[in-house]
Structure 1
Amino acid sequence: MTPPAHHPKSAKSRASQNVPEPAARGPEPGEDRPEEAAPPKAPAGEAPAPGGERASVPAPAGEPPAVPALDPADRERLLSGTHHDPHGVLGAHPVPGGVAFRALRPYALSVTVVTDGGLRAELHDDGDGFFSGALPLREVPAYRLLVAYEGSVHDTEDAYRFLPTLGDFDLHLIAEGRHEQLWKALGAEPMVHQGVTGTRFTVWAPNARGVRVVGSFNFWDGTAYPMRSLGSTGVWELFVPAVGEGELYKFEITRPDGSTTHRADPMARRTEVPPATSSVVHASHHTWHDAEWMERRAARPAHEAPFSVYEVHLPSWRPGLTYRQLAEQLPAYVADLGFTHVELLPVAEHPFGGSWGYQVTGFYAPTARLGTPDDFKYLVDALHRAGIGVIMDWVPAHFPRDEWALAEFDGRPLYEHEDPQRAAHPDWGTLEFDYGRREVRNFLVANAVYWCEEFHVDGLRVDAVASMLYLDYSREPGQWTPNAHGGRENLDAVAFLQEMNATVYRREPGVVTIAEESTAWDGVTRATHHTGPGGFGGLGFGLKWNMGWMHDSLGYVSHEPVHRKYHHHEMTFSMVYAYSENYVLPISHDEVVHGKGSLVSKMPGDWWQKRANHRAYLGFMWAHPGKQLLFMGQEFAQGAEWSEAHGPDWWLLDPAYGAEPDHRGVRDLVRDLNGVYRATPALWELDTDPAGFSWIAGDAAEDNVFAFLRYDREGRPLLAVSHFSPVVRHEYRIGVPEEVPAWHEVLNTDGLCYGGSDVGNPDPVKPEPRGAHGRPASIRLTLPPLATVWLRPA
């Protein structure tokens, strides 16, 4: 055997290479583990055993116990990493006349057993790192091993004297695919087991011939750390004493073909900073201070509450800031602008920063680029204490092919579908999950619960739902196989999304799930137990991104005003289907990258007109039925396209650098839009109820005018008028309800303070008994150029 470069070696090999002995590793935090010292001695039968076990008692005098010979097949399987039951061979086992001990310690000079009663026995060197011996004892004692290397003696527990750390109930739930807190059963868990401090390692690898733990604690040599298979579940387990927080680790898996691979833990709760790929043993020590937020967040459903979202890419919002530094700036900024929520581009660990987090390898670990998991909890806590909800982008649609991560994890397709056509994602060069496999479905459902439960996340925006729902998504004929009914729907994905939503809503009151679904799939936000016209139950999401509104409305405003009359329907068509789902209106990161330009750069005209269009569009968006989402930088009309390398152009807001006040004006408008929005139930209370909306002028194409009323539950209205022509229209007649005695302008995107021309209606406007737009009364308004105005009853 060739030992690793930094592993303790035999005296002969070290002397020949002049390699110094490594220093003995110090105790982990909270661990009392002296090294290079003999354990305390006590008379047999008097000393308490570690963990409260009985002291070892010698057996009656007689023939000395014999150590059974190690079966050659066991020896080979242990050395090659293919043994399913190392605990059955290693450790301590009763034999006639006493107890036999066997240890596998490659490169050790000697191994001595010391029992709780003070009995000692130096084990015989059986070669290849095996040591064995026996003591005349009545029963298996608690004991320790003194492992001698040249220049050091390690006083340690024997990992192979411990019972399994997982109980039958956990294994039953895992086998059924119903373990809703899977992260508490699989992965690396620091714990006290049988009175001893260490870390439990567990991993699901049903196709593996053997699994070993490798890490910083064993010099990345897993020979002495084989894991045991826990029956038909496919779970492998090993409790390693004295290993604590901060240790790096991976799983060394022997694949069905006999080759080996080192894999990061799929359930790792902490990782190294990319491009390093090891998992890190972690335990949380964060104390939450958001009890008030958590208690009241379920008071009102999201679709009936104010819901205005600021979308953020954390690494580039203020480049270089950590989670804790972001916690000092982001909550204050978002609260000042009046947004109710932030939505974070994927936080889960990903190897390539240029994917913005959308190619995840560590589904249970916040990216280490910005700090530890507790640091991320600190950020969420700070946002909650500032009254801001936290939505996280979640990516169960696919995962990358990195050879150290999930792809063919144990040598065969495991997390991905076994059919290569079903496994390969046609657009992104990644792999799709096998939603029909119960353990994979469990992995993902538990992951959704995990972020909500452990990190107090208030919502999950599920990425690329359409790519999950259709078997023929981005595939040509012959590249996909119909489902059992001959259709194109991915029935496994439908069942997974229904299970995920039902589980999250049952376990986490107040949490909302949001679908990015770009097709007309029926019932995305319908309850899972309600069957729709297509024969499927609802998917069970709380909200859905309205991709149609986004596409149509951006298409309209990108045209020159003189041509907009030919595209008028693009702004009104959304109301044909506005109540088919519970919608979010998204101007997201996807619309301001890859050559699409920023929001303001999409607008026609000179710089003044671009900004005016931008402001008018935001006013229309905030008044339209549905929730709002705006990506960072668009709140102050950044002209450049977003780049993850440098983030928003904050200098545009800094007067010290001669920045134009117009950018600050747009940001002030967003602040006021949110302020009036949150104070006006008509703009959000009946977002999903047709009773909350009524057209006044939906067909004024020649004038580029859109006018409509929004209502709250008490019938109180808000009048919104958007004018997308660069001219002033005086005395423009708008039909209104006759019961309102006067209307007062509460917001005007052409205000001087926003960078506009300050044309508007400063005085209350009284209705006249002259009908218009099918209503018995009307008012005459001055419509500013390229502007949206909101009016409420005076």
Structure 2
Amino acid sequence: MKYNEVTVEPHVLAAVAQASYHDPHSVLGAHLSDNAVSIRTVRHLADSVEVITSAGTFKAEHEQDGIWLAVLPGTTIPDYRLRVTYGNQTTDVDDPYRFLPTLGEMDTYLIQEGRHESLWRVLGARVRHYEGELGAVDGVSFAVWAPNAKAVRVVGDFNYWDGTGSAMRSLGSSGIWEVFIPGVQVGARYKYEICGPDGNWFQKADPMARATEIPPATASVVTSEFHQWEDAEWMEARAQRDPHNSPMSIYELHVGSWKQGLGYRSLADELIPYLQHMGFTHVEFMPVAEHPFGGSWGYQVTSYYAPTSRFGTPDDLRYLIDRLHQAGIGVIMDWVPAHFPKDAWALARFDGTPLYEDPDPLRGEHPDWGTLVFNFGRREVRNFLVANALYWLEEFHVDGLRVDAVASMLYLDYSRKDGQWRPNQYGGREHLDAIDFLQEANATAYRAHPGIIMIAEESTAWPGVTADTSQGGLGFGMKWNMGWMNDTLRYLQEDPVNRSWHHGELTFSLVYAFSENFVLPLSHDEVVHGKGSLINKMPGDKWRKLAGLRSLLAYQWSHPGKQLLFMGQEFGQEAEWNEAYSLDWWLLEDHGHKGILELVSRLNHLYTANPAFWDDNYTGYEWIDGSDSAHNLISYIRKNDGVSEGEGSNVIVCVANFAGNPHEGYRVGLPFGGDWEEVLNTDAEEFGGSGVVNLGTLTAEEISWNGRSHSVSLRVPPLGAVWLRPVKN
């Protein structure tokens, strides 16, 4: 009986043999005719090939250009393996081309629509397991979006970086290329080899890689999650918590330079007890997504789904976050969707065309940073970024994302001169596609993960950054208050004898303090690029610098808004931050620097214990006297849910003196009478101060002052802050 093979045109076989055909699965693998099964495989330089089934072994014949063909009788496709002989070495292998696509029609539809919220579950490298008649098969499916490529193949350790036997199939108009390769294991390195529209081949790292080689090596790495989470209690509580009305004191940290030499796991052992002593509620990691140049501090990302391998595996990072959660500490991560670097092996011109980047030369590059701007108007690119936000929230249990460089996304003319930018369709400078993206990312994140927080680093007066998207806002939960930071530091850099002329810089922030939900940032940006450290922004001798930093920190912690402090400033780091060195921990041997650290610890513990500081609405703040420029002094009340006469469980009176001399007998109006106590004085000797404090109980006198019926006479220390609270009976 003659068995009819499935015939293929010679020119198609030639293209398949070269791994340059867009649909190799239509030729390779098993295909049915009316009474036979034709099985083709590419095995260049093989001496013989056989097909093994449960019914027997069938010899294949060399057909053309390294393609072998075996014709088996039957009308169903059997489970089979290949026995390949090269010289005196014979190996049984599985065939990548006998497997169905690992993406379904719904997956490709959602990707085309830009609505696949679990993109990382279908693209990239995924470990998979299949059962079969001849036994179980383990391997890895690879899938990549490259819509303008002529052909794509996988190269890696498993095929000696020769992709001629690992060509991927095009899944139609979706632009997705896919193949399952049996036998590939976790830890294997790989890249995609892409034939661009011009016919040239080039290699690219996987945009959806979830692990990478350690830079400067650039290959992607197959990974899988093995970590068993133990933070269920934290995650359940988070989902019920409103972060806006909860304490949030953030410690910003660069993993590589807090203490050099620590990986994710060893960092957990040292960082957690430190944060617990310091009382910070959250830690914010500067970007940990993989980046090739350490000097970018992580802000030029090449692998958005892969934690940097410099400090361990993805599971090692999960371990760190898990441990932080078990210790009651939230985790915020910097996220950089605004731009990416031009490295030829990464996202830039990924399929030989501007794919992830905006193709418009007046929109596609950042002139300041020499990077490329995402094409926010393309559905698949927007999907890539929105899914990336969800990836960190879901797969790593991150509690919030601080979105970097939002201003650069909002304005088409950001850092561009006339003639270097093109207005939107309405003639304005607003980047409408970027606005839509930010609204989508925020709305999706909050819907999918209640209790998380999205924070904007946005430096302009753009209205409604933290307004709901339903009201036309950007939908962030919080925004960095750059105005407060700039005005406050500018004021404090003045010598105290000149500060009375700059009093408005100190008080202006209260004009707009409740227009958005703010974070008060004293971040890494303020202690790099020649700006010096916080302590060295203070004028005067060493004592005045220490005192000035203490007064700044107390003012920050009592001002409306959440607070963020960059690592090292909590003990008065003197040197400007350099990512290549550890912090100057030896400074803690000095009483003055140790005192600042203990002050920050006290501030945090008082802050978290007093809901008066958590209410960031206008009802939670009240001036006592904001106009005493002659004394360089301000006084105000922090309260929770309003405080009336005689109520005092949630009220703190704050007095901040930015003069270089003390004020003895300084009278301050109080919201009501009764006994008060000093709960914080930054000039206390335990903090390295001179000891100008108020001891014992302070009884409010019926002396009208600052428009109030009661007042108290205080000792106000030089360059110091005093906090008072009612004595509970």
Q: Which amino acid aligns with 2:365?
A: A
What are the Cα deviations for residues 124-164 of structure 1, in whole angstroms up to 9, with x where unaligned?
A: 12342211131222322111101112342221111111111
Q: Which amino acid aligns with 1:647?
A: S
Distance 1:463 1:131 in 2: 54
What are the Cα deviations for residues 347-370 of structure 1, in whole angstroms up to 9, with x where unaligned?
A: 100000110000000100000000
Contact 1:165 1:193 in 2 (8 A): no
1:85 equivalent in alignment to 2:13 = no
Partner secondary structure for residue 585 of structure 1: strand
Q: Which amino acid aligns with 1:697?
A: D
1:766 equivalent in alignment to 2:704 = no
Runs of 5+ in structure 1 lacking a partner? Answer: 1-61, 531-536, 654-658
1:717 equivalent in alignment to 2:651 = yes
Distance 1:704 1:625 in 2: 20
Q: What are the residue-to-residue correspondences of 1:733-748 with 2, within 5 Å?
A: 733-737=667-671, 739-748=672-681
1:551 equivalent in alignment to 2:458 = no
**Alignment CA distance shift 1:194-1:82 (3 Å):** farther
What does residue 31 of structure 1 align with?
none
Distance 1:152 1:540 in 2: 63
Distance 2:88 2:397 in 1: 49
What does residue 696 of structure 1 align with?
624
What does residue 356 of structure 2 align with?
415
The CA deviation at 1:539 is 0.6
Q: Which stretch has the larger CA shift, 325-334 or 121-130?
A: 121-130
Q: 2:209 aligns with which of 265, 268, 287?
A: 268
What does residue 726 of structure 1 align with?
660
What are the Cα deviations for residues 4-53 of structure 1, in whole angstroms up to 9, with x where unaligned?
A: xxxxxxxxxxxxxxxxxxxxxxxxxxxxxxxxxxxxxxxxxxxxxxxxxx
What does residue 442 of structure 1 align with?
383
The CA deviation at 1:628 is 0.6
The CA deviation at 1:392 is 0.2
Q: Which amino acid aligns with 1:105?
A: R
Distance 1:561 1:690 in 2: 30
Partner secondary structure for residue 497 of structure 2: helix
The CA deviation at 1:420 is 1.5
Partner secondary structure for residue 296 of structure 1: helix
Contact 2:611 2:640 in 1 (8 A): yes
Distance 2:329 2:481 in 1: 23
Q: 1:509 aligns with which of 432, 440, 450?
A: 450
Q: 1:147 aligns with which of 44, 62, 84?
A: 84
What are the Cα deviations for residues 268-324 of structure 1, in whole angstroms up to 9, with x where unaligned?
A: 001111111111111100000111111111333111111000000011111011111
Contact 2:258 2:583 in 1 (8 A): yes
Distance 1:734 1:141 in 2: 89
Q: 1:628 aligns with which of 563, 566, 589?
A: 563
Q: What are the residue-to-residue correspondences of 1:296-445 with 2, within 5 Å?
A: 296-445=237-386
Partner secondary structure for residue 76 of structure 2: coil
Distance 2:17 2:201 in 1: 13
Distance 1:453 1:193 in 2: 26
Q: Which amino acid aligns with 2:540?
A: G
Structure 2 length as normaliser, TM-score? 0.97
- Give structure 1 regions of 4+ aligned residues with deviation exceeding 6 angstroms: none
The CA deviation at 1:403 is 0.6
Q: What are the residue-to-residue correspondences of 1:54-203 with 2, within 5 Å?
A: 62-63=1-2, 65-118=3-56, 120-193=57-130, 195=132, 196-203=137-144
The CA deviation at 1:714 is 5.4
Contact 2:29 2:41 in 1 (8 A): yes
Q: Which amino acid aligns with 2:490?
A: G
What does residue 34 of structure 1 align with?
none
Q: Which amino acid aligns with 1:74?
A: V
Distance 2:663 2:673 in 1: 23
Distance 1:551 1:565 in 2: 17
Q: 1:478 aligns with which of 419, 437, 441?
A: 419
Distance 1:310 1:479 in 2: 38
Contact 2:357 2:375 in 1 (8 A): yes
Q: 2:636 aligns with which of 695, 708, 733?
A: 708
Q: Percent identity?
A: 58
Contact 1:67 1:132 in 2 (8 A): no
Distance 1:783 1:770 in 2: 19
The CA deviation at 1:194 is 5.6
1:650 equivalent in alignment to 2:578 = no
The CA deviation at 1:225 is 0.8
Q: Which amino acid aligns with 2:72?
A: L
Partner secondary structure for residue 568 of structure 1: helix
Distance 1:714 1:418 in 2: 54
Distance 1:257 1:490 in 2: 32
Contact 1:467 1:473 in 2 (8 A): yes
The CA deviation at 1:79 is 3.8
**Alignment CA distance shift 1:76-1:740 (3 Å):** farther
What does residue 661 of structure 1 align with?
591
Contact 2:673 2:702 in 1 (8 A): no
The CA deviation at 1:451 is 0.2
What does residue 785 of structure 1 align with?
718
What does residue 562 of structure 1 align with?
497
Partner secondary structure for residue 745 of structure 1: strand
The CA deviation at 1:395 is 0.3
Contact 2:5 2:36 in 1 (8 A): no
What does residue 463 of structure 1 align with?
404
What are the Cα deviations for residues 196-224 of structure 1, in whole angstroms up to 9, with x where unaligned?
A: 32111100000000110111000000001
The CA deviation at 1:96 is 4.5
What does residue 647 of structure 2 align with?
none
The CA deviation at 1:69 is 4.9
What does residue 676 of structure 1 align with?
606
Distance 1:164 1:431 in 2: 33
Partner secondary structure for residue 364 of structure 1: strand
The CA deviation at 1:75 is 2.5
Distance 1:109 1:455 in 2: 49
Q: Which stretch has the larger CA shift, 67-76 or 434-443?
A: 67-76
What are the Cα deviations for residues 402-457 of structure 1, in whole angstroms up to 9, with x where unaligned?
A: 11100000000100011122111111000000000000000000000000000000
What does residue 751 of structure 1 align with?
684
Distance 1:173 1:512 in 2: 26
Contact 2:17 2:42 in 1 (8 A): no
The CA deviation at 1:68 is 4.9
Contact 1:81 1:254 in 2 (8 A): no
Partner secondary structure for residue 637 of structure 2: strand
Q: Which amino acid aligns with 1:90?
A: L
Distance 1:602 1:236 in 2: 55
Structure 1 length as normaliser, TM-score? 0.89
What does residue 40 of structure 1 align with?
none
Distance 1:105 1:749 in 2: 76
What does residue 22 of structure 1 align with?
none
Contact 1:144 1:157 in 2 (8 A): yes
Q: Which amino acid aligns with 1:603?
A: M
Distance 1:645 1:182 in 2: 35
Partner secondary structure for residue 680 of structure 2: strand
Distance 2:447 2:44 in 1: 50
What are the Cα deviations for residues 592-633 of structure 1, in whole angstroms up to 9, with x where unaligned?
A: 111100100100000000000000110111000000100000
Q: CA RMSD in A?
A: 1.1
The CA deviation at 1:555 is 0.4
Distance 1:674 1:288 in 2: 28
Distance 1:692 1:344 in 2: 30
Contact 1:162 1:194 in 2 (8 A): no
Q: Which amino acid aligns with 1:704?
A: N
Contact 1:81 1:212 in 2 (8 A): yes
